[in-house]
Amino acid sequence: MNADEMKQLAQLLERMPGIKSIELKDVKRLADLLRDSPEIGSIEVKGFFGTGIVITRTAQGAPLQMAWAPPPAPAPAAAPAASAAPAPAASHLKEIKSPMVGTFYKAPEPGAEPYAKVGTRVSPGQTVCIIEAMKIMNEIEAELAGVVTEVCVEDAQPVEFGQVLYRIDPNG
């Protein structure tokens, strides 16, 4: 991003409700931070009611937040299942979690075969889905080998950082 583009971005951000005090030097520092820190997956500048800046990591860990960003809203508690059937013992299952906030896509394009579905054998490095964040399509890879036992989200559903996407049986 060149100096003119950063200046235009800073001017745009100054006009956003709730983000009145951001300056060109702040935008430059954010751009430098993103460029120089490969562990940072994205930087999101929010306006209106969610005023602040949220920085997410690409590796395991909690989202980072600038000191002047509001804390994220707590996730609603999940309602207990209405089914009378007992849940299968899942202590040996491993989880593939979302490394970022975005939109989950099970296939490379609409109508295409999903990357992974129940019964699919995956191996480390294999793409299992895409998460779109800030108009960037991020391929999410399996970190372990095994068989998919559960797909925990629907196609095109928004996902949060750390949300379980798949459950994998490493013994399968």
pLDDT of residue 69: 41
Q: Is 86 inside any structural domain?
A: no
User: What CA–CA distance (Å, rounded) separates 106 from 166?
Assistant: 11
Place of tokens 């750390």: 162
Which residue range(s) make up the domain with 165? 94-169
Residues 56, 111 within the same domain: no
Q: pLDDT tens, position by position, for the chain (172 residues)? A: 567 766 776 666 666 555 555 666 777 777 777 777 776 667 766 554 445 566 666 544 444 444 344 444 555 555 544 444 444 455 789 999 999 999 999 999 988 999 999 999 999 999 999 999 988 899 999 999 999 999 999 999 999 999 999 999 998 7
Q: Is 75 inside any structural domain?
A: no
Residues 60, 114 within the same domain: no
Residues 100, 156 within the same domain: yes
Own/partner pairs for 86-93, CB < 8 Å, 24+ apart? 90/167, 92/169, 92/170, 92/171, 93/149, 93/150, 93/167, 93/168, 93/169
pLDDT of residue 57: 60
Q: How many domains does the chain have?
A: 2
Question: 45, 65, 85 — which closes off a domain?
Answer: 65
Residues 163, 99 within the same domain: yes
Q: Is 88 inside any structural domain?
A: no
